[in-house]
Amino acid sequence: MNQTAKLLAQQARGRALLFGLPVEEAIVRGVAADSENVSILQSELLRRPAVAAASGLGQIQNLIDDANVEEIWINRPDEVWIATSGVNKRLEVSLSNIEIESLVERMLRSTGRRIDRSTPFVDASLADGSRLHVVIPNVTREFWSLNIRKFRVGSATLEELIKLQMLDLQQAQRLRRAVLSGESILVSGATQAGKTTLLTAILNSISDGERLVTVEDTFEINCDVTDWVAMQTRDATPNNSGAVDMRRLVRESLRMRPSRIAVGEVRGAEALDLLLAFNSGIPGYCTIHANSAEHAIKKLASLPLLAGSNISSEFATSMAMSSISLVAHCERNSSGVRRVVELREVSVAL
């Protein structure tokens, strides 16, 4: 980024604060004032990098804006990668350590989350809904590592997933029947297999008049349910107070008069509270990391054991088998295509 653009960005921040202007408008005014004798093209070449600098996303702003980019990650200052259509590509972009740290600080500023040596990991939702994950040394060997999983514009439906060939018509019809009849559904798969996309489409099949409460580590679900409350976990403050974990959120959700509950990803003791809720008659949906439908239900049955030694394996298995009616397992092939490869009835297949 050239020095002129950086100077314009700095001046625009001051102008925005002084006159209460949006940063981009302040930049446009600055470009207009400083470039009376240049062409429209030259003005635009000044404006774009200045906006990127002022927004805090610098050299990766164009990647954020590119709808074809699914995910961005930085392994070290000279190693920036993107994923497009499921294919990973390394870019010729170099960022200094200071630029990366400043980038993370600015992205976290409005989230209420922090990262330091005592809290070397952070997950946060950015303003556009994208998910940020950062790990710092000495958990990483030497450099800050960050991932930005881009926010999916629009909210998936089962019909849309049929068009994308993620589902076939028969699978979509079975999932819709399960939702309408109040059956609980477990969505499984590996990272980036399409679990959240499928979960969102399932939630968009809920009938009008239902009240949905969703629970996540960081906000990713983007559904069109009218009566919907979304909650996410919260890290502890520097004095180790104020933390809100998944188990607490599941419990709180039961006090909010839900007719449906969804958990973005179940992976700990919150599975006990979730299965208890399902067994109490509240239909629910959750995602889980697993390599098959069978593995998914077995894993869900094992997680309640983390809640305490007084939970027996037989009890946890019985709860899981009686709570979940259907497992939808997603996979992504080597070409980046996501598909539901298994749709299994728990009572019959497992």
| 143 and 170 fall within a common domain | no
Residues contacting 254, CB < 8 A, separation 6+:
261, 273, 277, 282
What percentage of residues in the chain have a pLDDT greater than 70? Answer: 82
Summary mean pLDDT of the chain: 85
| 137 and 7 fall within a common domain | no
Mean predicted confidence (pLDDT) in 60-89: 89
| 303 and 345 fall within a common domain | yes
Range of the domain at 32: 3-55
| 41 and 166 fall within a common domain | no
Tokens of 273: 């509270």
Q: What is the pLDDT of residue 1?
A: 47
Domain count, the chain: 3
| 103 and 182 fall within a common domain | no
pLDDT in tens, 236-271: 777 777 889 999 999 999 999 999 999 999 999 999
| 141 and 175 fall within a common domain | no
| 284 and 336 fall within a common domain | yes
* Rounded Cα gap, residues 136 and 132, in angstroms: 13
Tokens of 21: 């202007």
Band of pLDDT at residue 235, cut at 50, 70 and 90 = confident
Q: Answer with the one of 149, 176, 198 that is the final residue of a domain.
A: 149
CATH of the domain at 120: 3.30.450.90
Cis peptide before 222 (omega within 30 of 0): no
| 250 and 113 fall within a common domain | no
Q: Is the pLDDT of residue 322 over 50?
A: yes
Q: Is the pLDDT of residue 35 over 90?
A: no
Continuous segment of H or E residues that includes residue 199: helix 195-203
Q: Are strands 145-149 and 260-263 parallel, antiparallel or unpaired?
A: unpaired
Band of pLDDT at residue 94, cut at 50, 70 and 90 = confident
SS (H, E, C) 262-285: EECCCCCCHHHHHHHHHHCCCCEE
Q: How many residues does the chain have?
A: 350
| 279 and 316 fall within a common domain | yes
- Say which residue, 154 or 179, is predicted with more confidence: 179
- Looking up tokens 């774009």 gives 48
pLDDT in tens, 162-215: 999 999 999 999 999 999 999 999 999 998 899 999 999 999 999 999 999 999
Residues contacting 322, CB < 8 A, separation 6+:
279
Q: Is the pLDDT of residue 70 over 80?
A: yes
Q: What are phi and psi of 80, to 5 degrees?
A: -115, 130
Q: Answer with the one of 106, 131, 149 that is the final residue of a domain.
A: 149
The beta strand positions in 48-144, using DSSP E, are: 71-76, 79-84, 87-91, 121-125, 131-135
Band of pLDDT at residue 117, cut at 50, 70 and 90 = confident
Q: What are phi and psi of 53, to 5 degrees?
A: -65, -45
* Rounded Cα gap, residues 228 and 200, in angstroms: 13
In 3D space, the residue among 342, 325, 327, 344 whose CA is nearest the CA of residue 182 turns out to be 325
* Rounded Cα gap, residues 309 and 184, in angstroms: 27
Q: What is the pLDDT of residue 119?
A: 85
